[in-house]
Structure 1
Amino acid sequence: MLTYTPPSLHLHLHLHRYPHSTTISSSLHHHPNHPTTTAPDPVLRIHNSKTTSFLHHRQLATTTTNETKNPPQEYENDHHHHRDSEDKPKTPPHILPPQEKQNILEMSLVTKRGPQFPGSIYANSLPSLQSVIQTQNEDDEDDEEVMIRRALDIRRKVTAEVFKAAMKKGKFGITYSTNLVNRLPDFIDHVMIEAAALKRSPEFKDSTFNLRAKLVIDHSNVVPLIRWLKHNNLSYPKIAKLICMSKGNLDSIRRLVEWLKTVYVKGEFLGATLLKSGDDILHRSLEELDEIVDYLESNGVRRDWIGFVISRCPRLLSYSMEEVKTRVDFYLNMGMNENDFGTMVFDYPGVLGYFTLEEMNQKVNYLKEFGLSTEDVGKLLAFRPQLMGCSIEERWKPLVKYLYYLGISRDGMRRMLTIKPMIFCFNFEATIAPKVQFFRDIGVREDAIGNMLVKFPPLLTYSLHKKIRPVVIYLMTKAGVTEKDIGKVIALGPELLGCNIAKTLEVNVKYFLSLGIRVRQLGEMIGDFPKLLRYKVDLLYPKYQYLRRTMVRPLQDVIEFPRFFSYSLEERIIPRHKIMVENRVNFKLRYMLACTDEEFNQRVADKVERRRRFESGRMDDAVSDSQMAEGTLGKTASSSLSS
């Protein structure tokens, strides 16, 4: 079957087949003034004609180069040819574009042969890589380094493809394999170097690079290791980083993971523990690690706590035995016993490994400036080791300056530190300052805020929006506390802000209202004695029953003196009431209870002497009616008590 070829293509093909043809050469430089040349016979299109044309084009470029050095006489006389060359400068034919050179390299190093079809250009039909690089080096020596770098990049891509093929054989998905291989540049280079080294062996002298790379990957057992690490809950970024850390010694990863399991490190923390233990952890012996664990266990850290401690402080495994002993002795020398040390390390494992010894000494010395001894600091750190994680410049000094601005002395700060050391772990701008501003807004006086914080330091640990504000709203809406008195209530009884609304405040409010006390009166009682709502109803009920049934006192007495519920029934109320009955005297609740035993006995003696003088007739006429009324009430109470 014949195929029609256009004239332009015919000339192009004929030029490649007969590069020295004078007829076709002159036809390419045809000018209107020249005589017309008869066209040659058409050439039939054959199989792979484009490939053949491309190869002849390469041969023509080489031939043209040689002819340029010794040009024929006919080209010297051809003025039109020189005019065209000067008007349109051209790149020398033997200089390849960068993209074409890249394609040649990639095609020469591909892992699989590309699809073949009529007209395809194969790598074996192109000029060899060596000849191309040699030709380019004659023009530009710097281009050699660029080509070598490109060749290395292509080798890396080939190695990565071989690795992906091994992953695919290991039943890994394409996406997982691609994501993992992209994070393994060091291991890919290791495989590439090992595969290149195999070339020196006579056994693999004539083998392909792909085969040698595959042998290196299979021999390293990296694919089964990846499967095993994935089974142990390690994500592919952690697996990739571990493989790169191993520097080719993949057995060290499995060995260390098995050891971590023996000390109770959970699977979900294995990857993080390995990655944060230091770059040299994979090269440490298990005997050194066992020695560290045994030493910690001998100083109070229980065996089943070791896994938790190591997973929270992996850096501990990177220290030498001498370093670990120095850090442990730092805390034991402050008076800690083994139990305190063990619980401290379990509560905050970072206390052993996250800070330098210099930083630890600076923080201990700063805490001593509040008036604490070394033993006091040791007890403080055993109770709240998180203090060691706070910065002096960024956390403690700004807080101390702020507390001093509120009028809190050094002794007050020491009380806050010993009662609630967590306060010194807070960022005062985000946690403490908004609460202080809220107290100002509800009417707490400026000079009372500091005293309130020193009196009840846990107040600063409560949530402003979930704890403090809801309690204030409940007191003003349900307990009858007015807006005028709410600031005084909070200043006198900051402990109220720590009470549970449903279990404490609401139960007490309902009980007092059930006694017949109005909401407004209850608010006044709370303003006079804020602690009233903190007592349990089981303690309030017996006192109220004794007041009403035994002492025969009206409800108004409780409204006027709500502190009555703060005194002990067995140790204060009943004994003093018996003394009053025996001496036939009576006092208001305030004078009866709000005094010491000596003052109470003196008041009773004065009352008895006054009554005796009255009964003997020597009493002045200026005896007040109120005193006589009190005597009458005392007789009534005594008769009720005897009955």
Structure 2
Amino acid sequence: MMICQQQHQQQQHLSISHGSILQPNYNLTTNLSLLHFPNPTSIFKRVKPLVASSQKHPVHHDNSEVATELQQAQPQSRHLFRKHNSKSIAFLDNLSQHPDAGKQEHEVTSLDRDKMLELSLISSSRRSPTFPGAVDFPAIESETENGGPSPKIRRIFQGSGTVIDEEDRDKMLMRALDIRRSVTAGILNQVMRGSKLSITYSSNLVSRLPDFIDRIMIAAASMKQLPDFSHSTFNARVKTCIQNSKVIPLIRWLKHNSLTYPQIGKLICMCPGDLESIRHLVEWLKSIYVKGKFLGYVLTKAEGILEHSQDELEEIVGYLESNGVRREWIGFVVTRCPHVLSFSMDEMRTRVDFYLDMGMSKNDFGTMVFEYPKALGSFSLDEMKIKVDYLKEFGLSHEDTGRLLAFKPHLMGCSIEGRWKPLVKYLYYLGVRRDGMRRILTVKPMIFCVDLETTIAPKVRFLQDIGIHEEAIGGVLVKFPPFLTYSLYKKIRPVVIFLMTKAGVTPRDIGKVIALDPELIGSSIINKLEVNVKYFLSLGISLQSLGEMIADFPTLLRYNLNILRPKYRYLRRTMVRPLQDLIEFPRFFSYSLDNRIIPRHKVLVENRINFKLRYMLAGPDDEFYKRVEAAIERRQRFESGIMDINPQTQTTNSSSEQIQVNSSEMRNPQDSLLLPS
């Protein structure tokens, strides 16, 4: 009895499954998973002949009836349902309650897609191929005389009552074009992978070739009109176009020459004609010394370079070479300014003559182009003329402007409104007038190229912090313009700290020292300042006295030792002067030994008089000889016993001059050699 009942249940389940198999768009595997069979092998043997018979004699069943039977059978085997079929069970339960819901939703969501697909397959004579992206343009473009859609298009939408307009038609055309574009891109990607290019590289490069893909797509579509390709598929025509373009060997060759895939993609899209012209252009760039890693940069940045022939490019290079730009420099110039190769020959002549007309020689022009190629190719002629006219407002002549640009061509890259005018206003506020600005511009033109807020203003505030008055800051900048180009924390502050800690300069005098000689900031601490400080300290000068000497004469630390040693030796051995005289008058080292110190010392020795170093060396020769004559006259009166009591005959400097017989210089000269050097 139990065996018969079990066979009856199996037949009932088979009837349900048999009905679902015969029903279209119904999944046999899903239905079988909803049921429980005690022996799957035996059930499969029974289902197999039923499936075969259903294919020969199909029987149509309603989905609602099948769902009802499944719902009735569901309580008997719910505890055996699989978890991954839970959504199917819920869908069948909902479908049993609302039989027409799924059908209406399916019709609504897929209506437009079906209409577009059917529209894309319209053909006036025969059915178009049904591969993705197949579009019959004559059928779509065949409209009635009054501008409405064609009869075939009208019949498609008559069933649903939808009226197609021009906007919908354009959307369907764009959709079809997008499909064909994606098919073309996929075929190109597949061909690139077949040429042993990596998957990632191929995908990235294809994404950079939208224009080339469109050209291939259009070429493949136009090949349909050729007799040899009238019956070929779109995919086959695309492959043929890719092979004829020879793009794959070109990609591999450009990759071997260090071009990145963005550069390769942009270059291929830029090429209007035969892609082999890219290969010839790369070979020519190598001949003018363009390095491999810069080939892609030059090709992609030089606008219109692919439109120039090789003869035109060679003519431009030859013209630059004839005007001072060496051929071995051309590669460097083109690398830094690819726009040089974008100009026509007439425009290139105009730009070169613009600089040569300012009195610039060919050698200076070639050096200028090598140092800053953008001055030749990155700015318009109007912009260049405006900047030259602005520089002339500082009092520079046409020739002086040409020499200035040859010395610092980076000025052509500076903005007048954003860089020059704010700097001029700031310098004018500091007390720098037109002549001072001209000196700053000619001595250190780089100041007009740096940023005002981040470079110049902090250094001016530093000068104020160390005690320099605001009215004197402008003089410091005019006296030593390179001060504004030095680093505040790597150069200026270390020098100031060295002077205050190692050279004995007090904080009260540091502002005075920098104001008197701002060139100290430009001196090297290790090679100049420290060496001179050690030398003066070795002479027996205390650190405090050295600081006073530097405050009186800051240039003392900038002299070379081969200049200081002979003068000190002459002072101590020949003139037999004490070290205190040197401490009182450190400017002694600023006078020439052969032209000032020795001649005047001989005059004093011959006339048996002696002056302090300050009155001996200061002043011109006429004033010195007048002072000597006055001293001789006073000495003669003193020796004769005649005392001049008339105050009018006394000179103003009698209190500071010592009139005496220089008996020390009448000694044996060998005695002076015993003094320390």
The 1:174–1:630 alpha-carbon spacing in structure 2 relative to 1, beyond 3 Å, is same
Q: CA deviation at 1:207?
A: 2.1
The residue type paired with residue 104 of structure 2 is K
The worse-fitting range, judged by mean Cα deviation, of 303-312 and 173-182 is: 303-312
Q: 2:185 matched to 1:160?
A: yes
Q: CA deviation at 1:182?
A: 0.7
TM-score (norm 2): 0.78
Q: 2:653 matched to 1:639?
A: no
Tell me how large the CA RMSD over aligned residues is. Answer: 3.6
In structure 1, C-alpha distance between the alignment counterparts of 2:359 and 2:52, rounded to whole Å:
95
8 Å CA contact 2:19–2:61 kept in 1: the answer is no
Q: 2:331 matched to 1:307?
A: yes
Where does residue 474 of structure 1 map in the other structure? 498
The residue type paired with residue 302 of structure 1 is R
The 1:155–1:630 alpha-carbon spacing in structure 2 relative to 1, beyond 3 Å, is same
In structure 1, C-alpha distance between the alignment counterparts of 2:53 and 2:452, rounded to whole Å:
81
The 1:573–1:16 alpha-carbon spacing in structure 2 relative to 1, beyond 3 Å, is closer
8 Å CA contact 1:310–1:317 kept in 2: the answer is yes
The 1:604–1:301 alpha-carbon spacing in structure 2 relative to 1, beyond 3 Å, is same
Where does residue 606 of structure 1 map in the other structure? 630
Alignment of 1:406-421 (within 5 A): 406-421=430-445
8 Å CA contact 1:3–1:44 kept in 2: the answer is no
SS of 1:247 mapped into structure 2: coil
8 Å CA contact 2:324–2:365 kept in 1: the answer is yes
Alignment of 1:535-550 (within 5 A): 535-550=559-574
Alignment of 1:559-578 (within 5 A): 559-578=583-602
The residue type paired with residue 110 of structure 2 is L
SS of 2:507 mapped into structure 1: coil
In structure 1, C-alpha distance between the alignment counterparts of 2:207 and 2:336, rounded to whole Å:
29
The 1:88–1:333 alpha-carbon spacing in structure 2 relative to 1, beyond 3 Å, is closer
Where does residue 216 of structure 1 map in the other structure? 241
The 1:49–1:322 alpha-carbon spacing in structure 2 relative to 1, beyond 3 Å, is farther
In structure 2, C-alpha distance between the alignment counterparts of 1:239 and 1:378, rounded to whole Å:
41
Q: CA deviation at 1:176?
A: 1.0
8 Å CA contact 1:13–1:53 kept in 2: the answer is no
Match for residue 46 of structure 1 among 20, 42, 51: 51
8 Å CA contact 2:414–2:420 kept in 1: the answer is yes
In structure 2, C-alpha distance between the alignment counterparts of 1:515 and 1:209, rounded to whole Å:
97
Q: CA deviation at 1:634?
A: 2.3
Where does residue 407 of structure 2 map in the other structure? 383
Q: 2:188 matched to 1:149?
A: no
In structure 1, C-alpha distance between the alignment counterparts of 2:489 and 2:338, rounded to whole Å:
37
Match for residue 473 of structure 2 among 429, 433, 449: 449
Q: CA deviation at 1:208?
A: 2.3
Alignment of 1:197-208 (within 5 A): 197-208=222-233
In structure 1, C-alpha distance between the alignment counterparts of 2:11 and 2:296, rounded to whole Å:
68
Q: CA deviation at 1:493?
A: 0.8
Q: 2:272 matched to 1:225?
A: no
Where does residue 549 of structure 2 map in the other structure? 525
User: Which structure 1 residue ranges, 5 or more long, are not aligned?
Assistant: 18-40, 59-82, 112-130
The residue type paired with residue 658 of structure 2 is E
Where does residue 463 of structure 1 map in the other structure? 487
Alignment of 1:206-355 (within 5 A): 206-278=231-303, 280-355=304-379
8 Å CA contact 1:162–1:213 kept in 2: the answer is yes
In structure 2, C-alpha distance between the alignment counterparts of 1:85 and 1:3, rounded to whole Å:
26
Where does residue 194 of structure 2 map in the other structure? 169
In structure 1, C-alpha distance between the alignment counterparts of 2:117 and 2:576, rounded to whole Å:
110
Q: CA deviation at 1:15?
A: 5.5
Q: CA deviation at 1:572?
A: 1.2
The residue type paired with residue 634 of structure 1 is N
Q: CA deviation at 1:411?
A: 0.7
- Cα displacement string for residues 17-42 of structure 1 (whole angstroms, at most 9, x for unaligned residues): 9xxxxxxxxxxxxxxxxxxxxxxx99
8 Å CA contact 2:637–2:643 kept in 1: the answer is yes
The 1:15–1:259 alpha-carbon spacing in structure 2 relative to 1, beyond 3 Å, is closer
The residue type paired with residue 240 of structure 1 is G
8 Å CA contact 2:500–2:507 kept in 1: the answer is yes
Q: 2:538 matched to 1:534?
A: no
SS of 1:557 mapped into structure 2: helix
Q: CA deviation at 1:576?
A: 1.2
Q: 2:477 matched to 1:426?
A: no
The residue type paired with residue 397 of structure 1 is K
Q: CA deviation at 1:374?
A: 0.7
TM-score (norm 1): 0.81
Q: CA deviation at 1:146?
A: 3.9
- Cα displacement string for residues 538-585 of structure 1 (whole angstroms, at most 9, x for unaligned residues): 211111111111111111111111111111111111111111111111
Where does residue 34 of structure 1 map in the other structure? none
The 1:110–1:85 alpha-carbon spacing in structure 2 relative to 1, beyond 3 Å, is closer
In structure 1, C-alpha distance between the alignment counterparts of 2:297 and 2:501, rounded to whole Å:
52
Q: 2:658 matched to 1:630?
A: yes
8 Å CA contact 1:137–1:144 kept in 2: the answer is no
SS of 1:265 mapped into structure 2: coil
In structure 1, C-alpha distance between the alignment counterparts of 2:372 and 2:62, rounded to whole Å:
76
In structure 2, C-alpha distance between the alignment counterparts of 1:55 and 1:498, rounded to whole Å:
101
The residue type paired with residue 636 of structure 1 is S
How many equivalent residue pairs?
574
8 Å CA contact 2:430–2:471 kept in 1: the answer is yes
Match for residue 393 of structure 1 among 406, 412, 417: 417
- Cα displacement string for residues 73-104 of structure 1 (whole angstroms, at most 9, x for unaligned residues): xxxxxxxxxx9799999348486266889999
In structure 2, C-alpha distance between the alignment counterparts of 1:452 and 1:494, rounded to whole Å:
7
Alignment of 1:590-605 (within 5 A): 590-605=614-629
Where does residue 110 of structure 2 map in the other structure? 96
- Cα displacement string for residues 387-438 of structure 1 (whole angstroms, at most 9, x for unaligned residues): 1111111111111111100011101111111111111112212211111011
In structure 2, C-alpha distance between the alignment counterparts of 1:256 and 1:523, rounded to whole Å:
68
In structure 2, C-alpha distance between the alignment counterparts of 1:411 and 1:56, rounded to whole Å:
105
- Cα displacement string for residues 142-192 of structure 1 (whole angstroms, at most 9, x for unaligned residues): 655444433322322222222122222222111111111111111111111
8 Å CA contact 1:266–1:307 kept in 2: the answer is yes
In structure 1, C-alpha distance between the alignment counterparts of 2:60 and 2:505, rounded to whole Å:
101
The 1:134–1:605 alpha-carbon spacing in structure 2 relative to 1, beyond 3 Å, is farther
Q: 2:188 matched to 1:188?
A: no
Between the two proteins, what is the percent identity of the paired residues? Answer: 59
Q: CA deviation at 1:348?
A: 1.1
User: Which structure 2 residue ranges, 5 or more long, are not aligned?
Assistant: 1-9, 26-45, 64-96, 121-128, 134-151, 672-677
